[in-house]
Amino acid sequence: MESISIKNFKKIEELSLKNLKKVNLISGCNNSSKSTLLEAMYLLLSVNGQNVYPLFSQGLLTRRPILGNNVMDPLLGLFHKFNFDNPISISSEHATCDITYNNSVNTNSEDILIVPESDKHAGSNMTQIDLAKISTPSRLIDVNFTIDNISFGFLLYERGSVKLKSTQQEITRAPCEFINEHNNIVGSNTNIFNMTSTSALSKLINQNQEDAIVKKALHLFDENIKAIAITSPMPNFPEVFIQHSKYDKKIPLSSFGGGMKKVLNIVTCIMNSRNGVVLIDEIDNGIHYSIVPKLWKMIFELSTEYNCQIFATTHSKEYTRYVVDKETNWSKYKDDFCFITLNDYNGAIVPSILDGTQFETALEYNSELRG
């Protein structure tokens, strides 16, 4: 993805980013739409069936149930100024995703897919709404997007259920599927290695990648770690174990700190995202500054090896400054890096974008890059 344009998505009325690179670090004050930018990217790439992995510290697309006229309208929060009359448009050079509110659709039409009760349940959990309070069944989000000039479309019901509009072709992934699925993945803090993380790790272990994982992720913290494995002490409860040279017993990953789990999450995501995109919200959380140069080195190396594009947000000066470091081999990766600051100017989200050379100069002059 070299560029992205966003209109009417949450706080962003209009935002265009160009010249995006393989590794992109995003900063800005609180409420400057850093996470919203990642959410927009996720929505765009997901509905277009592209390989995208989000690591969010909060739930994705599900955070803002809005109270209006005493009725909770959870999807209203996606629209700029909480107004369904502002159609959402997200596009890159390869794909588009247009979302409009359409209350004129006949919900009894045969082209509407009735969702199972379990999905409704997931939907209610997702948005923390009381289904009984939903006023009408006619609140629908009309989602349209294109891949290679072929138009697709579906309707997203506010309860999180899905209705296929059957425009031209069935979509590859239903929206309720990706929202529910990733609500599990990203709904938790990324410093927690949950079942989804374990499943992703398992995939890599099955590909005999455990040595690479140990070297790339775990040796950043402790070079005495020898191996990583998944076993199930109880049926259906797989758990990650670490083999450490100083102990003769396998140690559960849960015994280690959050920072190590977070880095393991990042490495696992990138290694599972060949030719894809990894979105990391608040990359700095939980990691000591001394690890940061090594982490950047690992991210640069893996993103190149797996041809994986990284978008990460941060508030940290160390995360910003240590991108340029002997240890990260910066001169080699300088042209693959872009730094974006999001600024809120009287409600308008305005980006400033630095390429590697400009970023280096800004750091040299100790410019306040974080907005």
Can residue 117 be called a binding residue for other proteins (CB under 8 A)? no
Closer of 95 and 362 to other proteins (Cβ): 362
For 223, other C-beta atoms within 10 Å of its C-beta total: 11
Can residue 345 be called a binding residue for other proteins (CB under 8 A)? yes
Residues in Cβ contact with 358 at an 8 Å cutoff, skipping those fewer than 6 apart:
none
- Exactly one of 90, 126, 283, 354 binds other proteins (CB under 8 A); that residue is 354
b/e burial code for range 314-346 (CB count within 10 A of at least 16 → b):
bbbebbbebbbeeebebeebbebbbbbbbebee
| Amino acid making up residue 328 | T
Can residue 364 be called a binding residue for other proteins (CB under 8 A)? yes
The CA distance from 144 to 153, in Å, is 4
Q: Residue 18: phi, psi to the nearest 5?
A: -125, 170
- Cβ–Cβ under 8 Å, residues 185 and 193: no
Q: E strands of 10-149, at which residues?
A: 12-17, 23-28, 52-55, 66-68, 71-73, 88-92, 95-101, 140-147
Q: Inter-axis angle of helices 175-186 and 195-206, to 10 degrees?
A: 100
Can residue 371 be called a binding residue for other proteins (CB under 8 A)? yes
In which residue are the tokens 């990706």 written? 178
Can residue 367 be called a binding residue for other proteins (CB under 8 A)? yes
Q: CB under 8 A: which stretch of 114-122, 247-255, 329-337, 344-352 binds other proteins?
A: 344-352
Closer of 146 and 352 to other proteins (Cβ): 352
Can residue 231 be called a binding residue for other proteins (CB under 8 A)? no
Can residue 351 be called a binding residue for other proteins (CB under 8 A)? yes
Can residue 331 be called a binding residue for other proteins (CB under 8 A)? no
- Cβ–Cβ under 8 Å, residues 286 and 262: yes
Minimum CB distance to other proteins, residue 26 (Å): 14
Can residue 131 be called a binding residue for other proteins (CB under 8 A)? no
Minimum CB distance to other proteins, residue 43 (Å): 24
Can residue 238 be called a binding residue for other proteins (CB under 8 A)? no
Minimum CB distance to other proteins, residue 126 (Å): 35
- Cβ–Cβ under 8 Å, residues 83 and 72: no
Give me the helices (H) in the chain, please: 34-47, 117-127, 175-186, 195-206, 210-216, 258-271, 292-305, 317-321, 330-333, 356-364
Q: CB under 8 A: which stretch of 90-98, 165-173, 189-197, 347-355 binds other proteins?
A: 347-355
Can residue 5 be called a binding residue for other proteins (CB under 8 A)? no
- Cβ–Cβ under 8 Å, residues 208 and 202: no
Can residue 348 be called a binding residue for other proteins (CB under 8 A)? yes
**In DSSP terms, which residues pair with 234 in a beta bridge?**
237
Can residue 352 be called a binding residue for other proteins (CB under 8 A)? yes
Question: Within 31-90, which residues bind other proteins (CB under 8 A)?
Answer: none
Q: CB under 8 A: which stretch of 33-41, 136-144, 152-160, 349-357 binds other proteins?
A: 349-357
Can residue 347 be called a binding residue for other proteins (CB under 8 A)? no
Closer of 258 and 351 to other proteins (Cβ): 351
Site for other proteins (CB under 8 A): how many residues?
22
Minimum CB distance to other proteins, residue 15 (Å): 11
**Contact positions toward other proteins, by CB under 8 A?**
341, 343, 345, 348, 350-355, 357-359, 361-362, 364-369, 371
